[in-house]
Chains A and B, each alone.
Chain A
Amino acid sequence: MPVPEVAERFTGSVNRLTLGATKDDGGTRTSTVTVGGARNVVYGGSAADTGEKAVIAMDVLDSKPEDWPDVLLEPYKNVLDSPGDWAKMCVEEFGADLICVKFDGIHPDKNDKDAAHAVKVTEEVLKAVGVPLVLWGCGYDEKDNQVMPKVSGAAKGEKCLIGTVTEDNYKSLTAIAVADGHYLITHAPLDINIAKQINILASDMGFPLERIVTFQATGALGYGIEYAYSIQERQRIAALTGDKMMAMPVICDVGYESWRAKEAKLTDAPGWGDPADRGPTWETATAICLLQAGVDIIRMRHPRAVATVKNFINKVWT
């Protein structure tokens, strides 16, 4: 008796989008990155349903990080003051698919740097690497509203992924991102309904849904990863069942969240094993777990974690 075909089929799919504009496309990128396109859950359906491979965006900070543990600083110790060199290193040595410029330094509680600084960093990174960019604000609404529109302008036409916009603060960045031809990251606090609401709000402002990537907030291993996992999974299922407001590819912030975990950064804990391995392992485990839920873009930090996760992606998404 033949084994019956039991594979589940869905009517919807995750939007497919291509980040980065090459010369032909009016930009200066030398490569582009396409994400999305899945027509089934991870490991579900036929190979054709798998969609695009997940990609890794490596974090580059606009100014020297102040709270990174030594293990994480070590690989970048010579480039920390130069975002351009840092980005170059990530792409050339560690194989980053994308560079995520994280503008921590503009935060009023940190360096409170101005828009001119942010624009300069953006230009530097654009010049240094040919991969598409993710441009990520500091999370302080007022400051982001001052600075990020300028950053958007500096990368105009490059088809960057810019964000994030929240329910409380979406209007200025959404408007400018439409004008500058970028892609937008909508950000919700681990709440599937609010995630959808912010997509609707952006869409109400005329932002095309097919140019949105969602960020549901991320929890690291041991720090709420189950919430992040199930929301990611719910979004994928919503997309597959035809909810246009939830059919976006997903980005998650594994680097920042994993390295906040004390298990990743504590050095004085002999029973926990070598700190040089522990941090990268924590980051790797978090990333691989979330990949199963259907994440499309992962922000990461440590080169060893990046290498392991890349290896995993290449084996699963053949």
Chain B
Amino acid sequence: MEESKKKKKKKKFTVRFEPSGLKIKVPAGTVLLEAAHKTGIYLSSICGGDGYCGKCKVIINEGQFKSKPTALLTPDETRENVVLACQTKILSDMTITVPKSHTLETSQILMDTDAQRFSELAGEVREGIFEFDPLVRKIFVEMSPPTVHDHTADHERLYLAIREQIDAPIMQTGFRVLQKLPKLLQSCDYKVTVTIGRRGETTEVIEVEAGNHHERNFAVAVDLGTTTVVAHLTDLTKVATIDTEATYNSQINFGEDYIRRIIYAEENDAFDEMQNRIVHDVNNLIVTLATRQKIDLQEITTVIFAGNTAMIHFLLNLDPTRIRREPYIASAGFVPPIRAAEAGIQINKRGLLYCLPSVAAYVGSDIVAGVLTTRIFTKKGISLFADIGTNGEVVLGNQDWLVCASSSAGPAFEGSGVKHGMRAGAGAIEKLTILDDGSFELKIIGNTHPVGICGSGLLDTLAELFINGIIDRTGRFNPNGQPRLTEGDEGWQFQIAPAGNEHQEIVITQADINNLVRSKAGVFAAIRVLMESTQTKLEDLDAVYLAGGFGNFLNVRQAVTIGMLPDVPLEKIQFVGNTSIAGAKTVMLSRKALKAAEKIAKSMTYFDLMSHQGYMEEFTKANFLPHTDLSLFPSVKSVKCKT
């Protein structure tokens, strides 16, 4: 009996996933979500496998399985053998179909126009706003070989030659470089390419190679997002972005927000796995970029990261547990440069890894990068910066002061927690307009059939439904005479696009709208708290910057209409896209910019909203379209709900 049990346990089954055709052998009883994820197949899951988000639906074509009952599947779906992968155990060989909505093709998230904008922003360095002085550079050094009259040692000879070209008062050399130096210099007649890297005030001789290769120096900047990881390959001598690539953060299987991931890692002692995943994602991006551009990984000498504090901790396997617990501190806000190889990042084995400094446990280096990129810290007038990600971070200030706050806005505008939400990729509805005759005009990324709605499309949806009186100021549907409004399993839902031959119907539900309204309310309440605390009036705002991965296109007017951003003249509002990576690139190209980033991080005052007395009240006021205090939104006043 015991033995047969054991034998049964050891039995392995083959699971085949369509349409990719990927296969895996797993022990009987393995959870389907885990099997998919071991196979490298991405299935969306917000709850991290707890069975309450209902996102990991797959279709079972054949095979025995056991599923826990769930209310998240319609009777139709159950008939068609749709299951939640996280609630299903494998009991035989199986064939599974992964629906298209899960499909993750990294190239889909590429944002060409964003990439273009980023290159322009990195142009700041070319324009001399921050002088060109990359953190890691290669210089070609020609020394005269030693003679009886000039008996300076090789190592000191190299230092002298380097100092002729760059300012480097304090220098150091690695032992391995030192050991190979004499033979190398003699072999190439004292003509070498030196890779030098800045580590604070110290300049390190990272590598010495024979001959002149100083024009082959590349770097990768990475925006380490909770949901998306974006990498830009940069030519450090030409100061140009050569190529960009993005992928989903594969930690997503452990929860869609980082707090959940910290809990998971703590409960399962999975910090190493967390690090492995993110390092793997980054390496994949680097290899993809390098291969596509025919660059040798050894020629990439720098990798630089900007991201929220928790993600940086996961990357370096620093203890992140106190981020979510009192006293809410990070293990390190200013991470010193380290050898990239020490973190497992595959670039030149002696190449350096930098992280932009962060402000606090909940305000990461991505926000510092945003302040750097928008240059609000250099301006006399007051600017507002809001970065809408999984959290909504807000910065207010000028050249004299900076305050910041982080609201748990939730990932609704990233497409998470919204029934048909998705990230900006092929098939995402990125723009929506309701015409006078009540028909809908949709713009879909890649001009294909609609798959879902991305951030900018969700913003449009909310604003258009509101100004057309389809929802009232609380976000509730007005059921009167709306042919597109039907009652679904989760209450009222509104059809955005009808089903077609190749795609399902796209709807927005009452719950989606509530999430979006709450999300914008969190951001605006944070803005209000910062403005009130600093006695900043609306007319004091010189500029408003909106950042985030909404997509390529964003109608800033709509952000005001729904009351996410203050009602300032539209020309003052600018959508700046992903400022996290733009800031990372600027720092990579200029030591001055790194110093500026450090200054920004040190000087920013953090407001903790959770312990702030007025925040909840501001939140309730903002939980209305556009706001309970209509006088704050004079330009939206004319909007009337139809009865």
Contact = CB atoms under 8 A, between A and B. Distances in A.
Interface stretch (B471-479, B526-534, B593-601): B471-479
Interface stretch (A108-116, A192-200, A213-221, A284-292): A192-200
A245 B620 contact: no
Interface residues of A, number: 15
B193 to A, nearest CB: 65
B4 interface: no
Kindly state the interface size class of chain B when it binds its partner.
10 to 19
Contacts of A175: 643
Contact of A200 (B617, B620, B628): B628
A204 B625 CA distance: 12
B477 to A, nearest CB: 11
B640 A197 contact: no
A201 B472 contact: yes
Given A200-B473, A204-B473, A171 B620 contact: no
Nearest to A194: B620
Contact of A201 (B474, B617, B620): B474
B643 A197 contact: no
Contacts of A168: 476
A193 B617 contact: yes
A307 to B, nearest CB: 40
Interface in A178-206: 191, 193-194, 196-197, 200-201, 204-206
B640 A204 contact: yes
Contacts of A205: 641, 643
A197 B474 contact: yes
A85 interface: no
Task: Give the one of A191, A200, A205, A206 with max B CB within 10 A.
Answer: A200
A204 B620 contact: no
Given A196-B628, A200-B473, A206 B620 contact: no
Given A200-B473, A201-B474, A204-B473, A193 B643 contact: no
A172 to B, nearest CB: 10
B630 interface: yes
B362 interface: no
B628 A204 contact: no
A205 B473 CA distance: 11
A141 interface: no
Given A171-B643, A204-B641, A205-B641, A191 B474 contact: no
B126 interface: no
Contacts of B620: 191, 193-194
B296 to A, nearest CB: 61
A52 interface: no
A167 interface: yes
Nearest to A245: B630
Interface string A16-33: 000000000000000000
B621 interface: yes
A238 to B, nearest CB: 11
A298 to B, nearest CB: 27
B472 A206 contact: no
Contacts of B478: 171
Contacts of B643: 171, 175, 204-206
Contacts of B641: 201, 204-205
A197 B630 contact: no
B621 A200 contact: no
Contacts of B472: 201, 204
A268 to B, nearest CB: 41
Interface string B608-643: 000000000100110010001010000000001101
A194 B620 CA distance: 8
A168 B474 CA distance: 9
A171 B474 CA distance: 13
Contacts of B630: 200, 245
Contacts of A193: 617, 620-621, 624, 628
A316 B217 CA distance: 86
Interface string B321-334: 00000000000000
Nearest to A200: B473
A269 B517 CA distance: 50
A266 to B, nearest CB: 36
Interface string B345-366: 0000000000000000000000
11 contacts: A168-B476, A193-B621, A194-B620, A197-B474, A197-B628, A200-B473, A200-B628, A200-B630, A204-B641, A204-B643, A205-B641
Interface of B: 472-474, 476, 478, 617, 620-621, 624, 628, 630, 640-641, 643
Given A196-B628, A245-B630, 13 more contacts: A171-B478, A191-B620, A193-B617, A193-B620, A193-B628, A197-B628, A200-B473, A200-B630, A201-B641, A204-B641, A205-B641, A205-B643, A206-B643
Task: Report, nearest first, the 4 A-B pairs whose CB atoms are least far apart.
Answer: A193-B620, A204-B641, A205-B643, A193-B621
